[in-house]
Every structure is written in C-alpha cells, then in structure tokens.
Amino acid sequence: MSKASTRVLDTARTGRGMVWVIAVMLFLTVLATAAGIGTARATQAVGVQLGGRATVQIAAADPATREAAAGEVASLLAGIPGVGGVRVVPRAEIAKLLGPWLGGDADDVDLPIPVLVDLTLSDAGTAGRVRGALAGVPGARLDLHSQALAPVRAFLGTMSMLATLLVAMMLGATAFVVVLAARAGLEAHRGTIEVMHMLGATDVQVARLFQRRLSLDAAMGSAVGGVIGLVTVALLGAQAGMLGSELLGTVTLGTGGWAALVVLPFAFVALAAAVARRTVVRSLGQMR
Amino acid sequence: MQFENVGLRYGQGEEVLSDLSFSLTSGEFYFVTGASGAGKTSLLKMLYLAQRPTRGAIHLFGTDVVTLPRARIPGFRRRIGVVFQDFRLVPHLSAADNIALPLRIAGVLEDEVRDAVSEMLAWVGLTNRADARPPTLSGGEQQRVAIARAVIGRPEILVADEPTGNVDEAMADRLLQLFASLNGLGTTLVIATHDLQLIARVRSAQMMRIDGGRLLDPTGMLRHPPGRQA
C-alpha cells in the first residue's frame, strides 16, 4: 500500500509506550555488550601477555649461595630450547615490589629475600623441561604466571559469559515486548483490520502496516537508548583509563567492539520489524 | 454467482439459512428483502465472503469459494464492493481517506487515487466534507461515504445492506441513480432493503425474499424473478 496508508493505524489508540521500553532495553544491552566484549578482550590479553611468562624462585638462607645459584640457574635455563628472556631480577627491583609490605626494610641486605629469575617459555612442554632442569638446584621453584592468574582469567571468562547471557536475555525480552505490542495493536485496531480485510487487504499488507509502525517505534527507542548507552560506555572507558590499572587497561573494546555497539540499534530495529511481521501474520492467520 | 443447497448456522445453533439454491446473472440488479432477522444480512455476508456456509457450495467468478484458501480470498474481495449496514468507516480517517482505502489496498497510484476520490466525493455530494472524520458526519453522510468507498474500485458485484436506510427520499433517489448507472456499466447489484418503494422504482430489478431462513418465491412485484438453479 502507499505511504498514505500508514494513517490507517490510529497512533492515538496504542500510544508510543514501546519507544521507552526499547530505549531502556537497548541502553542495558549496550552496557552488557560492552562489558562482554571488554572482559572477553581482557581475558585474551591476559592470556597473551602472561601465558608464556614464568619466574624461578630460589630460596636459600645464605645470600652468597642465593646469588651463586641465581647465576647458575640463569645459565642453565638459557641453554634449554624454548626458553628465552632469561633475566635475574635485580635486588633493588625486588625491594621495590616488596616495599608496600616491608617498607624501608625491604632493601636490608640481611633480609633473606629469595632471588628471582624471569623467563619466557615457548610452550607447555618447555615448562616441563625447565622443571626437570631445576630438580637438581636446591631451593629452586618454577612459578608459571598463567597458573597464578588462572582465577582472574576464570573470573573474566565468567563475566564475559554472563554478559553474553544478559545480551541474549535482553534480545529475548525485547522480542517479547514487540510481540505484546503487536498483539495489543491488533486488538486495538481489530475493527480497522476487519474493514481492510473486507476491502481486499491481504494479511501481509496488514502486517506491513504494523511492521512499519513498530519499526518506527523501535527506531526511535533505539536512537535514544543507543546514544545514551554509547556515551555511558565512552565515559566509563575514560574513567577506567584514568585509574592507571594494568588489569583494567586490558579491558578495551577495540574498533570491532565499538562497531558492534553501533550496530546494536540497527539490530534492534531489524529484530522488532521481523518479530512484528511474524506475530501479526500468525495472529491474522488465526482470525476467521 | 451460484448457491447450491447452502445452509448456515452460527456455532451449535439452528440453521439461520437453509437450502439456498439460486444463481445470480452477471450485470443484473437484485433486491433481497425480508423481515428483520430473516437472514438477509447473513446471506449478504456469504455473498461478500465474510462468512463461509456450514454446508452447500458457493461458486463465484467460476470458483468454489467455500473451500477457497484464506490467502486467495482478498483477490475475490477486491472484485466485490460492500456497503455495510453499520457503514464500518475507519473513524480516524477522513471521508476522503475512507473512500480511497480500497484503491490504496489495491496498490493504485496516489495521483489516480486522488482523482477518483474527488470524483466520488462529487458524485455523493460530499466534496465540502472531504476532510471530515466519520464521527463528525451525519448518518446520511456516513452512508454516502460508505457507498462511495464500495463503488470507487468499480467492483464486479456490489453488495449493499440497507444502503438508503439513513438518507432522505431525495438522496435515496440520487443513490438509486448511482446504483443504476453502476449497473449500466456492468456491475451486478445485490441490495438488501425493507423499502418496497425503492424496489418498485427499479423496474428491471429482480427480487429475492428471505423468510425464516429460506429463499421464497418473489413477491411478484417485479418482472424477472431469479432462477432457482443456474
């Protein structure tokens, strides 16, 4: 039907309540999607950054023995295939790390602080070879950073899955809202629909009117919810960046993430249009 | 249009129409008359495909419309104009938009729609009420809008339920002339009415009388009684 036919549905009868519901839904979906993408990227970044890193800790009461063992271990590790970036961590650096707990005493030469040797491992098999090599070094222990951060990665992974679940639930709830709005619209316009049918309108023509109307509502709601959602995510990102946290620094959206957020409003409109059309066609099919 | 042993009941009730067998010839003018509650409106509903019979067969334009799939019904309805007893105008649309509705549904270009609507408004004497909405129109004006909407698509069959019930005698005459001219263009007319004077004014019309849900022989007022069978 022509553009003039859009007037057939009386907007005063059903109002524009769906606009605000869609706006809220989309706002929450944008936040959940941003959280999901951010945590997923953080999980990946933590894995990449720390996955191959390890530290050998050598604990010995005698400082001279520790220092000698450190040099020996460094030479030993450097000769193992797959091991790289072997570096004995300077005592000053260790003292700086312990400073928050030990204060000025962290740099006390009499304090029996273990010696640390940082290294990178090319694969999981290399870790086994390193462990084997260290078996003969008294007081030496290999700490894989990936193991230490496994709970953090698991937490980020759970958050990411939760965010994905939330997005799926939001989409489901939005579809349900559209179904309810379409059914309410059909009921409110039952008389007009009967007249249209009597004049030869097909179910698809009637459905198209509702689809156009509900899509317009969804577009208005998506515009409002989308803009507020994107601005909120941008502000949160800026705030997180100012914290200077290394872990929070890995929670970024990237170009793809931002693109996904921008696509969301359009996806909502497409979802509303498809659900409205299907609901109306099915409901009309059940009419006499 | 051909009815063969058609019966109609609503729900589990008794048949409101029984054993209807008749045929309507294309291009003829028919009146359906009978007392209130006799079944005229039910008969018309079956004629304009708003109601399927509970038994029997109805052939329209050479097709069995009783078993017609739902998806094919709109195509047949576009060939039938209907004037409902309660007008059934869309209340939030102007008179002009109500009249335009069948053409817009049929996908006619907007320029052609505008021209046709102007012509129809002039025809039923409502040019100055084109933008008025039905609730602001009198009963007679609403009836004329309903008639204009029914005929604007030049239907092959026009079914009208008491089309002159709310207009004065002068307007009834004018509408009758409108119907007659449509009939002259080849449209088959089926008009339900109580108004025997109206029936008498169309000398060439044929009459069907419904009584107790059955089609009786014509009253004899008219010259061409409808055939019992095709």
> In the Cβ-directed half-sphere of A122, how many Cα atoms lie within 13 Å?
9
- Parse chain A into domains and list their residue ranges: 3-47+152-286, 60-138
Compare A261 and B174 and report the one with higher pLDDT. A261
- Written as six digits, the tokens of A54 are 């390890």
Task: Return the ∠ at Cα A145 (arms to A249 and A34), rounded to 5°.
Answer: 30
Q: Answer yes or no: do B93 and A12 touch at CB < 8 A.
A: no
Average pLDDT on B191-213 reads 84
- Written as six digits, the tokens of A129 are 């070879």
Strands B2-9 and B55-60, by their bridges, are antiparallel
> pLDDT confidence of B24, banded at 50, 70, 90?
confident
Q: Where are the alpha helices (DSSP H) in chain A?
A: 11-14, 17-50, 63-78, 91-102, 124-134, 145-148, 150-188, 190-198, 203-243, 246-249, 254-286
A201 vs A206: CA distance, rounded Å = 7
- Written as six digits, the tokens of B95 are 């008179």
Question: According to the model, what pLDDT value does residue B120 have?
Answer: 92
> pLDDT confidence of B217, banded at 50, 70, 90?
low
Q: What is the DSSP letter of B61?
A: T
What is the DSSP annotation of A179-215? HHHHHHHHHHTHHHHHHHHHTT--HHHHHHHHHHHHH
Beta bridge partners of residue B9, listed in sequence order = B15
Question: According to the model, what pLDDT value does residue A30 have?
Answer: 94
A15 vs A26: CA distance, rounded Å = 20
By percentage, how much of chain B surpasses pLDDT 70?
Answer: 94
Instruction: Give the chain B residue whose CA is nearest to the CA of A287.
Output: B70
Residues of B in contact with A10 (CB under 8 A): 91-92
- Written as six digits, the tokens of A130 are 């390193």
A65 vs A59: CA distance, rounded Å = 9
Q: Which pLDDT tens digit goes with each residue over A96-153?
A: 888 877 777 767 777 778 888 898 888 878 888 888 888 888 888 888 888 877 888 8
A76 vs B187: CA distance, rounded Å = 105
Work out the angle between the directed axes of helices A63-78 and A124-134 (0-180°, nearest 10).
140
Q: Answer yes or no: do A197 and B104 touch at CB < 8 A.
A: no
Beta bridge partners of residue A239, listed in sequence order = none
The answer to whether A24 and B117 have CB atoms below 8 angstroms apart is no
Q: Which pLDDT tens digit goes with each residue over B101-129?
A: 999 999 899 999 999 999 999 988 899 99
Question: According to the model, what pLDDT value does residue B132 have?
Answer: 95
Question: According to the model, what pLDDT value does residue A179 have?
Answer: 93
Q: Which pLDDT tens digit goes with each residue over B59-72?
A: 998 899 998 888 88
Mean pLDDT of chain B: 86
Beta bridge partners of residue B160, listed in sequence order = B83, B191
pLDDT score of B230 more than 50: no
Question: According to the model, what pLDDT value does residue A226 have?
Answer: 94
Closest by CA to B205, choosing from B182, B213, B216, is: B182
pLDDT score of B213 more than 90: no
* Residues belonging to chain A with any Cβ–Cβ distance to chain B shorter than 8 Å: 1-5, 7-8, 10, 12-13, 191-192, 194-203, 205, 285
Sequence-distant (6+) residues with CB within 8 A of A82 are A121, A122, A123, A125, A126, A129
- The residues of chain A scoring below 70 in pLDDT are 1-7, 10-15, 49, 106, 244-250, 287-288
Please give the helix or strand (H or E) that residue A120 lies within, else none: strand A115-121
Q: Which pLDDT tens digit goes with each residue over A149-176?
A: 788 888 888 888 999 999 999 999 999 9
Average pLDDT on B45-73 reads 90
Q: Answer yes or no: do B101 and A12 touch at CB < 8 A.
A: no
Question: A23 vs chain B: nearest CA distance in angstroms?
Answer: 28
Average pLDDT on B169-183 reads 83
Beta bridge partners of residue A87, listed in sequence order = A118
Instruction: Give the chain B residue whose CA is nearest to the CA of A199.
Output: B102
Whole-prediction pTM value? 0.71
Burial A212-227, CB ≥16 within 10 A → b, else e: bbbbbbbbbbbbbbbe
- Alpha-carbon torsion A175, A180, A185, A186, what sign? positive
> pLDDT confidence of B173, banded at 50, 70, 90?
confident
Question: According to the model, what pLDDT value does residue A154 have?
Answer: 85
Question: According to the model, what pLDDT value does residue A46 have?
Answer: 74
> pLDDT confidence of B100, banded at 50, 70, 90?
very high
